[in-house]
Homo-oligomer: A and B are copies of this chain.
Amino acid sequence: MDDLIRQHILPGLKNDALDELGDSAKLDLGSGSLCFTTDSYVVKPLFFNGGDIGKLAVCGTVNDLAVAGSKPVALALSLIIEDGFEIELLDKILASIGETASLIGVDIVTGDTKTVEAGAADKIFINTAGIGIRPAGVDLGFEKIAIGDKILINGTIGDHGMTIISQRQEIKFQSQLKSDCASLADLISELLESTSDIKFIRDPTRGGLASTLNEIARSTALSVEIHENDIPIKPTVQAAADMLGFDVLAIANEGKFVAVVSPESADECLRICRNHPLGKETKIIGEIVDTRDVPLVEIETRIGGKRIVQMPYGRELPRIC
């Protein structure tokens, strides 16, 4: 275990707090309020076009901190490894974790490693917990959302989920699909620094856009209207979803956020996002509207009709992240 930690796990993740190898990292943080999050990653396959479980474990947790309005400061990394898992693959995953964290500028400051006997886990599971500092003045929440607010997304939807599904099903055009797995911390930080008119941000991961918008409707008691024509979807993603019978609206994303912004600030937000590499295809896809009967999410279809977008239900697609 000691060898595993010192030879394979530590080298890619260098920083003072981690090198102490205490069970607990000591951090000196500035003022502002603290955000704290955790996520376990069980994605299958471990490597996919556009990323791997390691990159996902860093970006996913960083994104949870970022959408809460905080700047990611530190991550804790916990591995559950099946006995017999190839050490070369472990090294590859750890290198990916190290590179991703270093690109983002977040330290992995503490960790834990458990091995279980062959058959007791499926290769490797990764948990990352994260701490972020939310600067004074940043205030996001469902309660700030009002009628007329615009809904914005920073690019195409469904890329991550359809990549994973297609790779599992080994469908023909899988090579054209690529996960959008990325850290949103930088783009969100730019947005929050530029305007205080951002009401709410969430990353539409499990359950996709449909789930995030339904959560907004449920939590605000207001309705949401979106326009099919304005939702960016790659043709290959749409084709894969159609072929396999999935609704792209309910498919997971790993490098996208939904922001609810005041109508006055919408154009400025659009401009900032489009200037960022992760926001070139940002679109305003809809708005918050008054509730007639019950709060719901409606989509105006391409041919001008309307249909209700339901909260994804039933057995959830497992091991997408």
Contact = CB atoms under 8 A, between A and B. Distances in A.
A24 B35 contact: yes
Q: How many copies does the complex hold?
A: 2
A64 B292 CA distance: 52
A36 B42 contact: no
Interface residues of A, number: 57
A163 to B, nearest CB: 19
A261 to B, nearest CB: 19
A147 interface: no
26 contacts: A24-B64, A24-B68, A24-B70, A24-B132, A25-B35, A25-B36, A26-B33, A26-B36, A28-B34, A34-B34, A34-B131, A36-B74, A36-B110, A38-B110, A38-B111, A38-B127, A39-B78, A40-B78, A42-B114, A42-B121, A76-B129, A78-B127, A116-B122, A116-B319, A117-B319, A129-B129
Interface of A: 1, 22-29, 33-42, 44, 64-65, 67-68, 70, 74, 76-80, 83, 109-112, 114-117, 119-122, 125, 127, 129-132, 134, 202-203, 206, 316, 318-319
